[in-house]
Amino acid sequence: MRTTIACILGLAAFSPADVLAQKPRLDPAHVMGAQSCTECHGKEVDAWRATTHFKTFKDLERRPEANKIADNLDLDDLSANSLCIECHFTVQKKGARHVAISGISCESCHGAARDWIKEHNKETVARAARKSVSEKAGMLYPQNIYAVASNCFDCHVVDREELVNKGGHSAFSKDFDLLAWSQGEVRHSFMDSGSPVKKSGTVNREADANRKRILYMVGKLLNLEYELRAVAKATTAKGTAAAKQAYGVQHAIRANALIKEVEALNQLVPTNEVTALIAAAKSAALKTKNEAQLNAAADKVSIQAKKFVEAHDGSQLGGLDVKISALKPRGTAFTP
Ligand code: HEC
Ligand code: HEC
Ligand code: HEC
Ligand code: HEC
């Protein structure tokens, strides 16, 4: 039965060995684990423990949908399979073994911490200097929102054709919005502005108005970049019953919708960067087997998105507030 589906669609048979060869998102040898943050970021850790990101570690295997996906792909043990682990868990090297230690954790978004955990908080070093050292060691600071938020789209835009077409996994989180999805259950903004180092306080602050505008716009630009890259990986327009609609078709529709959405936002708050970004996004046809063109377009989109972050602090983007006020935070923000 499985062979037949693969033959009809002309898909290469899905082999778990290929999957194990995939490069992990984080270097397991550099992963410290969330408990190593607790001493100084206790509130952030408490907030994280209430999230879907934390709970997926225990929940995933209990879900009938997970076993269906695993069956469709001929996978025996999904908690040990690197394809699922990559987006659902955090992996650490313990001795000679790689062990899944938790769900999606601090380091999934801020970078594997081994080489910066003792540097980013050094009171004896000026902030700019300790920040620079930590960034070189792989730390992703919240201020660098393009880098931190790229992680969201690495996982929330599912760029694996077989996983969707054969496994029946969703192709992306349907209504993902960086602002709404970071200000609900994911929110963990407890830092005060203390000196010489900040401290974790007790209030889980909402982002201020300017920050919200930046998060909102950058979320749309990154989402478009990642959708172009996902379409670039599409090799067939045919799906299976499990996928309902083929991977490539779903992503092309989503990319097209995002282009329209970004165009509408650029009418509200026109900027040179987003105008150039739209032209870049439209320069590649949204079709299968168009990898080089689509990736080149995505690279240009990325350059303009980074320029946008550098050029704007949100104060001139008040035109976005009509959109922002209509958003609902995803999940409930944690209160200590
Ligand atoms: C020994 C205490 C300590 C530990 C352990 C620690 N941190 Fe920190 N962290 C701090 C301090 C202090 C600051 C504020 C630094 C500053 O003001 O520049 C900070 C700042 C941060 C920031 C940046 C906040 C900002 O807006 O500048 C992030 C992100 C962060 N830590 C993540 C982590 C993660 C993830 C871990 C665990 C892997 C961790 N930290 C472990 C003390 C610690
Ligand atoms: C590229 C990242 C990625 C990979 C790889 C991945 N997932 Fe997911 N998975 C996600 C995201 C993101 C969601 C949340 C989807 C949403 O918001 O609709 C999710 C959701 C799920 C759900 C919940 C779906 C539902 O209907 O509620 C299941 C079950 C699941 N994944 C199983 C798996 C299994 C099994 C594997 C490995 C064969 C796997 N995933 C691999 C990113 C991934
Ligand atoms: C390492 C992969 C990964 C990263 C990075 C990641 N997510 Fe997720 N996220 C997931 C998966 C997988 C799920 C679904 C888990 C499940 O249902 O078991 C999820 C679920 C969520 C949920 C709950 C979904 C719901 O349906 O209510 C929110 C909110 C969320 N993510 C927001 C974010 C934001 C915002 C970022 C970036 C700042 C982010 N995620 C980064 C993989 C990731
Ligand atoms: C899903 C991705 C994600 C995960 C998981 C995550 N963070 Fe963050 N973190 C972010 C984002 C995005 C911001 C910026 C939020 C904003 O600007 O509103 C941030 C901000 C921060 C800040 C600065 C908050 C402030 O008040 O200025 C600290 C400190 C921090 N994270 C530490 C942690 C620790 C410790 C963990 C684990 C317990 C963790 N993060 C887990 C994405 C994540």
> What are the tens digits of pLDDT across the range 38-49?
999 999 999 999
Residue 7, pLDDT > 60, answer no
> Looking at the domain assignment, is residue 38 inside a domain?
yes
SS (H, E, C) the chain: CHHHHHHHHCCCCCCHHHHHCCCCCCCHHHCCCCHHHHCCCHHHHHHHHCCHHHHHHHHHHHCHHHHHHHHHCCCCCHHHCHHHHHHHCEEEEECCEEEEEECCCHHHHHCCCCCCCCCCCCCCCCHHHHHHHHHHCCCCCCCCHHHHHHHHHHHHECCCHHHHHCCCCCCECCCCCHHHHHHCCCCCCCECCCCCCCCECCCCCCCCHHHHHHHHHHHHHHHHHHHHHHHHCCCCCCCCCCCCCCHHHHHHHHHHHHHHHHHHHHHHCCCHHHHHHHHHHCCCCCCCCCHHHHHHHHHHHHHHHHHHHHHCCCCCCHHHHHHHCCCCCCCCCCCC
Position 14 scores a pLDDT of 28
- Considering the domain architecture, whether residues 181 and 296 belong to the same structural domain is answered as yes
Asked if residue 123 belongs to a domain, the reply is no
Instruction: Say if residue 172 is in the same domain as residue 302.
Output: yes
Indicate if ligand 1 lies below 6 Å from the C-beta of 198. Answer: yes
Residue 90 near ligand 4, beta carbon < 6 Å = no
pLDDT (0 to 100) of residue 51: 98
The answer as to whether 243 is a domain residue is yes
Atom 12 in ligand 3: which residue has the minimum CA distance?
88
Closest ligand to Cα 330: 3
Whether the per-residue pLDDT at 332 is higher than 60: the answer is yes
Query: Out of 41-45, 72-76, 211-215, 251-255, which region has the weakest mean confidence (pLDDT)?
Result: 72-76
Residue 132 lies in a domain: no
Nearest residue by C-alpha to atom 29 in ligand 3:
181
Q: What is the predicted pLDDT for the residue at 77?
A: 75
Range of the domain at 30: 17-110
Q: Is the CB of 312 under 6 A from ligand 4?
A: no
In this structure, is residue 135 part of a structural domain? no
Q: Would the pLDDT of 80 be above 80?
A: no
pLDDT band at 76 (very low <50, low <70, confident <90, very high): confident
Q: Is the pLDDT of residue 9 over 90?
A: no
Q: Which of 40-54, 229-243, 277-291 has the lowest mean pLDDT?
A: 229-243
* pLDDT score of 244 more than 60: yes
Residues 296, 159 share a domain: yes
Domain boundary among 95, 110, 125: 110
Verify that 148 and 83 share a domain, yes or no.
no
Residue 124 falls inside a structural domain: no
Q: What is the pLDDT of residue 2?
A: 31
| 170 CA from centroid of ligand 2 (Å) | 7
243 lies in the same domain as 148: yes
Asked if pLDDT for residue 137 goes beyond 70, the answer is yes
Site to probe by mutation for ligand 3, drawn from 152, 174, 216 as the one with most ligand atoms within 8 Å of Cβ, is: 152
Counting the structural domains of the chain, the total is 2
CA of 85 to the centre of ligand 2 (A): 10
The answer to whether residue 24 scores a pLDDT higher than 80 is no
33, pLDDT greater than 80: yes
Q: What pLDDT band is residue 130 in, cutting at 50, 70 and 90?
A: very high
Give yes or no for residue 93 having a pLDDT over 50. Answer: yes
Q: Are residues 99 and 166 in the same domain?
A: no
